[in-house]
């Protein structure tokens, strides 16, 4: 649904300038709809002009008694808009009947079209405000993805694969095309600069559970990270950064996980060159819906007291105990306990 300057609400909101969330929907372009209605209004006006012009001998003008084409246009305009100066009038009986039976319905239709367009514009804005407000009230523990490029789309797809509902994902991107793409895929989206507090607030960032930042520039990512932490000190934040030198800055800003995209890609390229099989396995783990996948889950009651090697159908590669990640070879996790989280490699679920 196109909206003004995003168009996907503070207490002192204003309709004309407020940035709203863009929720997934399909409708006609406002310009197309306005053009269609303007064309209908001109058609109604042209019909009245044609009627008066072809039957001009049945009308009189108080100025000179004659009715020309300009007079017909003038009469049609003041009549259909209900202005009615009375200087041009139908004098023949049939002309008065035609005005009563034909021109009057056209006049009503013109007014309905004019008033209806105005009311629909106001209703659409009001409906958008209502949907936006209702959406905000329902957003809790959601995921905000800043940047909907290649990395952002892949992150969202992975979130969905691992059970995150599309209704719990909010996209922030400065490009209208990215917002439209996100809407088409079923996500709420906000067009704007994520370094601005008002944009982040409109994504209900303070109530978000997870935040993923995948911007093209490291300086923008750092500034966004600082703003995010001011608004939400407790959310789990994952940031993609291009240069490894900036990773430490982002950690100091409060990022929980920093992924260096250029280094990760370079390492994968190097492994694939020196050992193609290792590169293939890593690529398999990173892909979704086929081959192998990495997941995290709670230890079941039947698994408590057993070693990680005894887990059936999966390979445990790490255990999270008391919020501390321990590799599978750590003696402290030789036996699984109730409350542990395990990071496993398993067969991907198709679909």
Tens of pLDDT, residue by residue over 102-153, are: 888 888 888 777 776 666 666 666 666 666 677 777 788 899 999 998 888 8
Residues 214 and 232 in one domain: yes
pLDDT band of residue 12 (cuts 50, 70, 90) is very low
CATH number at residue 91: 1.10.287.70
Q: What is the pTM of this model?
A: 0.56
Q: Would residue 17 count as lying in a domain?
A: no
Express each pLDDT in 230-253 by its tens digit.
999 999 999 988 888 888 889 998
DSSP letters, 105-143, are HHHHHHHHHHHHHHHHHHHHHHHHHHHHHHHHHH--S-E
User: Position of tokens 């940031």?
Assistant: 239
Write out pLDDT tens, residues 176-194: 899 989 988 888 899 999 9
My answer on whether 132 and 166 are in the same domain is no
CA distance 342 to 236: 18
Q: Is residue 270 part of a domain?
A: no
The 10s digit of each residue's pLDDT in 195-219 is: 999 999 888 899 999 999 999 899 9
Please indicate, yes or no, whether residues 168 and 216 belong to a single structural domain of this protein: yes
CATH of the domain at 311: 3.30.70.1450
- The fraction of the chain above a pLDDT of 90, given in percent, is 21
Using an 8 Å Cβ cutoff, are 314 and 300 in contact?
no
pLDDT at residue 15, as a whole number: 38
Residues 6+ apart with CB under 8 A from 74: 88
Specify the pLDDT at position 320.
92
What's the structural domain count of the chain?
A: 3
Residue 278 lies in a domain: no
Q: What is the domain extent for residue 258?
A: 143-264
Residue 5: what pLDDT?
38
When pLDDT is cut at 50, 70 and 90, the band that residue 221 belongs to is very high
The rounded distance, in Å, linking the Cα atoms of 118 and 123 is 9
Decide which of 236 and 293 is more confident: 236
Cβ–Cβ under 8 Å, residues 186 and 25: no
**Mean pLDDT rounded to a whole number for the chain:** 81
Q: pLDDT tens digits, residue range 30-70?
A: 567 667 777 888 888 888 888 888 888 888 888 787 888 88
């Amino acid at each position: 649904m196109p909206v003004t300057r995003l168009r996907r609400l503070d207490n002192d909101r204003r309709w004309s300038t407020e940035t709203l969330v863009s929720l997934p929907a399909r409708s006609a372009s406002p310009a197309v709809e306005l053009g269609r209605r303007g064309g209908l209004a001109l058609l109604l006006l042209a019909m009245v002009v044609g009627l008066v012009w072809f039957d001009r001998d049945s009308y009189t003008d108080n100025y000179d008694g004659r009715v020309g084409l300009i007079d017909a246009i003038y009469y049609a305009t003041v009549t259909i808009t209900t202005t009615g100066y009375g200087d041009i009038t139908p004098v023949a009986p049939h002309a008065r009947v035609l005005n009563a039976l034909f021109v009057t319905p056209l006049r009503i239709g013109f007014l309905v079209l004019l008033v209806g367009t105005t009311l629909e514009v106001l209703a659409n804005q009001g409906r958008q405000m209502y949907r936006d407000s209702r959406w905000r009230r329902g957003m809790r523990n959601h995921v905000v993805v800043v940047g909907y490029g290649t990395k952002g789309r892949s992150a969202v797809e992975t979130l969905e694969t691992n059970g995150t509902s599309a209704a719990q994902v909010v996209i922030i991107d400065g490009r209208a095309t990215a917002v439209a793409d996100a809407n088409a895929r079923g996500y709420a989206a906000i067009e704007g600069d994520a370094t601005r507090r008002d944009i982040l607030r409109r994504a209900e960032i303070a109530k978000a559970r997870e935040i993923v930042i995948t911007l093209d520039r490291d300086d923008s990512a750092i500034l966004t990270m600082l703003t995010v932490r001011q608004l939400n000190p407790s959310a789990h934040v994952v940031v993609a950064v291009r240069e490894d030198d900036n990773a430490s800055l982002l950690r100091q800003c409060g990022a929980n996980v920093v992924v260096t995209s250029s280094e990760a890609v370079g390492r994968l390229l190097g492994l694939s060159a020196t050992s193609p099989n290792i590169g293939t396995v890593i690529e398999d783990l990173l892909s979704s819906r086929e081959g192998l996948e990495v997941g995290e889950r709670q230890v079941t009651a039947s698994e408590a007291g057993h070693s990680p090697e005894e887990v059936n159908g999966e390979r445990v590669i790490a255990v999270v105990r008391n919020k501390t990640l321990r590799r599978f070879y750590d003696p402290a996790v030789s036996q699984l306990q109730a409350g542990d989280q395990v990071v496993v490699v398993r067969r991907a679920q198709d679909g």
